[in-house]
Chain A
């Protein structure tokens, strides 16, 4: 989230697209309700079905799963056609006036941008992005037209690109009535007025597509056009589904990054520290400080062993090959026998992964598997799954008992980037241990095994800085020592650094994650434990916990005022400057360096981007500088905008088990989702009787017309089939109870009626409430940038179980 939960009270119009906030983040509705009551705010819900959020919305806009870019492209077209964008904001704070490279092209037949190449290793296309750039003058400055009339300027390029996204076309693709589309566009575009704030909140219904990153880009573009970035009540607000998914991402439990969103080093590009620094450090923007963050992290990892002479042990960090090592990739390599061991902390991919049934089969190839959880989850117990013969499975499984959240202490970062301390309420039962203690002891044991110098390159292990034992009892981990290392400290004095501004690239500072720096800079009274509520203000609550970066609650907040410093909305003023341009009052932490002049700040409000402005046209993603509509990997219809295109050409074709366009064996569109009463794989909530009572069994939502044609009555047992469940030519299926309802209605797609069915995915074969694994149905195919799997739209068939 660029903004935060309480800031929702400052919004005038909410668009909940690809999310279901009332069900999955119920407390958000406290703040949405407040905005409705106090500001007369409106809530638009864009969702294929009437979810619990749509049920309380002012406007529900049903669209076919997988057509968000068509919907948002239509919105962009509506905004541009009717000149509803916030002109001064767009002119000063975005790249709209910048002129685009003359060689940039887009082919409306194939849906391909200039620079396309084949990528046989991924069985897909890739791009040379050199034409996705701005024109520069002789002095190297970007050429621009402040009036935004030049046909090569970004605004005009966009206008031309999205002109195709007419109400009629968007209606044919999405299945939504054009009048309803227009009503929603009109309502949301009303936030283009300078004193109105529009808030787009989304979740996995935006990201979990083969074009998920472009969905997010489209959301961000709408917000830039309407001047909704960096203002109270605005923002691109990714609502996180787990208590610390923000923090676990910040901490880089992901193959492609290292802590604080630094790219993981790649063998081909970054063989040495000098290569990394040269290629990864931009000349402008806050990222010019990147070397300080990397070197400080290396110092945190390897302490005194990391010196200038040995490039601060840069060689110790593993270097990536060209392959994708995310979930789909690592499980594919497991199935091929390359991955021999899996260490799994509080994760349950045997239920949550795409084609989860295949994933459980691949796990039989493992030599060993370690699972750490509080309940016996399906990943650890995969050998008990239906159809498995334990006698034939050679995998050793180690299942370690962990603690519930309130049985251990530490911090968690919420969606609004608030890092809050979680106090320990009770001791864990039996022999359970906290994950922190387990990882501490396990790595110490590995260090012991390597202590004699045996084995492959033991140096990174034996030299690792792993001195987290309590002074009085070194067998017990001291969390304060871990916090201090993450926060950063001076390597000669050991004193915590105040924040990341103090970090250096010469080895004088160590810092585990620069973004968190400042969260634990006072060992007696750390900011993350602070509990001072705001009495009056705009909801920033600067005294409550610590928000990265630097306790800032709204990022890019310089955009809340015009270049002269006047707030767009005087009622929600964030900053006050005096006549000399000196900041005299602020209700949030300023998002600019203190040393910059008033003028510099106004010219560079997006400090993380090298151009200092919000980018409507970007070379940052793999699949194009502007989001274009592509169908999901499995779709009932061809691409109505780009006739020669199918699904995202840049998305890797991992397997050959996707149904063809309009495959009559799988006539229905399936979408999957979460429900309030369960959580993710259900490993936790299916062991909570109070929740099982409310939602005891897996179900599938089917419209009344389809149910009648298939002879299915409410509560009947039905079988759902997808192409992933074909084994040796035989079609398999999973079973669920039917929920027959007109909350999910058939849609007319390009003149043809299509039925949409929907299922939650929280069930599995372990726990107190058991059920089939919905994700067995899902194709293993992912976004072209992140490889997040396409859980939200695919094809299926349904039959009544007789």
Chain B
């Protein structure tokens, strides 16, 4: 059964419970940050930061709007990370979400470099890529993902894809009537559908400025080329990379012992 979440930024109060609950559940340490002139922190995604709230200020109908939008892996159907991963370490789950298998991950960082949303973090020490798992462990155990569970206002709702699609339509009608005529849904057409759908209260136009989301998300050309040209020989490439890695590791082990 496909699962989804609706991020409804007309309801988000920017409390960042989701940010904390994600770290709490996934046993992620805090980052060392600085105040740089915005409430938004940490500044970027990393192997220990899988979700965060974008705090954005923009003029809308002559009024200043301060909008809070939960960002993180959106679990694309047409996912660049899956396309480029040379080790078959990234795949869609039975829920339609995207996960990285750390055991297969060879640490090439291609997924992070090619991610349309820049939400994959690369852990150099462990040599693996990490990102939001859609709380695979929780949903497999019949629980709600940590971010959706903790959200005070219903700005994050989790459910079956069909329910979430219906909810999004319903909310869209309400929000449009309620002072946001340009509101729109993001995540139906985008990249053949995103498991993390959005209700964007002020529309998709200038989505980068307003919410920190690409207005027209696309898979980068390099990723396409990789997919078309190198995928047929992926197994060979993987073997070569594993071999190279092994050489590299034994070299550095030698260095350490000497």
Contact = CB atoms under 8 A, between A and B. Distances in A.
Classify A-B as touching or not with yes or no (CB < 8 A): yes
Interface in A112-166: none
A466 to B, nearest CB: 41
Nearest to B171: A37
A694 B13 contact: no
Interface in B15-29: 15-17, 19-20, 23-24, 29
Nearest to A771: B35
A689 B30 contact: yes
Contacts of A715: 35-37
A714 B34 contact: no
A676 B16 CA distance: 8
A414 B154 CA distance: 23
Given A53-B13, A690-B23, A30 B41 contact: no
Contact of B35 (A33, A50, A697, A713): A697
A50 B64 contact: yes
Contact of B37 (A26, A695, A740): A740
Contact of B15 (A26, A693, A696, A740): A26
Contacts of B24: 690
Residue in B10, B152, B179 whose Cβ sees the most chain A Cβ within 10 Å: B152
B246 interface: no
Contacts of A55: 13-14, 65-68
A29 interface: yes
A349 to B, nearest CB: 25
Nearest to A688: B30
B29 A697 contact: no
Interface string B45-83: 000000000000100000011111000000000000000
B41 A33 contact: no
Contacts of B152: 26-27, 29-30
B13 A22 contact: yes
B57 A690 contact: no
A696 B37 contact: no
Contact of A29 (B16, B37, B39, B153): B153
B41 A52 contact: no
**Size range of the interface on A?**
35 or more
B37 to A, nearest CB: 3
Contact of A696 (B17, B23, B35, B38): B35
Contacts of B258: none
Contacts of B39: 694-695, 739
Interface in A21-62: 22-23, 26-27, 29-30, 33, 37, 50, 52-56, 58
B205 interface: no
Contact of A693 (B11, B41, B66, B174): B41
Nearest to B16: A694
Contacts, number: 101
Given A26-B152, A33-B153, A743-B57, A677 B35 contact: no
Contacts of A23: 13, 15
B214 to A, nearest CB: 23
A203 to B, nearest CB: 16
Contacts of A698: 35
Contacts of A677: 16
B42 interface: yes
A739 B30 contact: no
Interface in A686-732: 689-699, 713-715
B147 to A, nearest CB: 14
B33 interface: yes
A445 B65 CA distance: 59
A714 B37 contact: yes
Given A33-B153, A689-B30, A739 B16 contact: no
Contacts of A699: 35
Nearest to B48: A693
Contacts of A26: 13, 15, 17, 152-153
B79 to A, nearest CB: 28
B57 A52 contact: no
A693 B35 contact: no
Nearest to A676: B15
B69 to A, nearest CB: 12
A452 to B, nearest CB: 54
Contacts of B153: 26, 29-30, 33
B42 A693 contact: yes
Contact of B30 (A50, A56, A690, A741): A690
A56 B175 CA distance: 12
B64 A695 contact: no
B35 A743 contact: no
A52 B14 contact: yes
A566 interface: no
A743 B66 contact: yes
Nearest to B9: A56
Given A33-B11, A33-B153, A737 B16 contact: no
B31 interface: yes
A727 to B, nearest CB: 28
A508 interface: no
A424 interface: no
B13 A56 contact: yes
Contacts of A740: 37
A704 to B, nearest CB: 10
B29 to A, nearest CB: 7
Contact of B29 (A37, A54, A689): A689
B226 to A, nearest CB: 34
Nearest to B154: A33
Contact of B57 (A29, A54, A689, A742): A742
A277 B29 CA distance: 59
A167 interface: no
Residue in A22, A30, A694, A743 whose Cβ sees the most chain B Cβ within 10 Å: A694
A574 B64 CA distance: 42
Contacts of B30: 689-690, 692-693
A308 to B, nearest CB: 54
Nearest to A53: B13
A690 B38 CA distance: 17
Contacts of B154: 30, 33
Nearest to B179: A58
A52 B20 contact: no
A738 interface: yes
B20 A737 contact: no
A740 B38 CA distance: 8
A631 B65 CA distance: 30
B35 A742 contact: no
A29 B13 contact: yes
A419 B37 CA distance: 41
A56 B20 CA distance: 21
Nearest to A697: B35
A740 B39 CA distance: 11
Interface in A596-622: none
A690 B22 CA distance: 10
A58 B24 CA distance: 33
B239 to A, nearest CB: 40
B206 to A, nearest CB: 17
Nearest to A34: B154
A37 B157 CA distance: 15
Contacts of A692: 30, 33
A52 B66 contact: yes
A741 B39 CA distance: 11
27 contacts: A23-B13, A26-B17, A29-B13, A33-B11, A54-B66, A55-B68, A56-B11, A56-B13, A58-B179, A676-B16, A690-B19, A690-B23, A690-B24, A694-B20, A694-B41, A695-B35, A696-B35, A698-B35, A699-B35, A714-B37, A715-B37, A737-B35, A739-B38, A739-B39, A740-B37, A741-B57, A743-B64
Interface of B: 10-17, 19-20, 23-24, 29-39, 41-42, 57, 64-68, 152-154, 174, 179
Q: Closest 8 interchain pairs by CB?
A: A714-B37, A689-B30, A715-B37, A697-B35, A22-B13, A693-B30, A55-B66, A26-B15
Given A53-B13, A55-B13, 11 more contacts: A30-B152, A33-B153, A37-B174, A50-B64, A55-B14, A56-B10, A690-B24, A693-B42, A695-B35, A742-B64, A743-B64
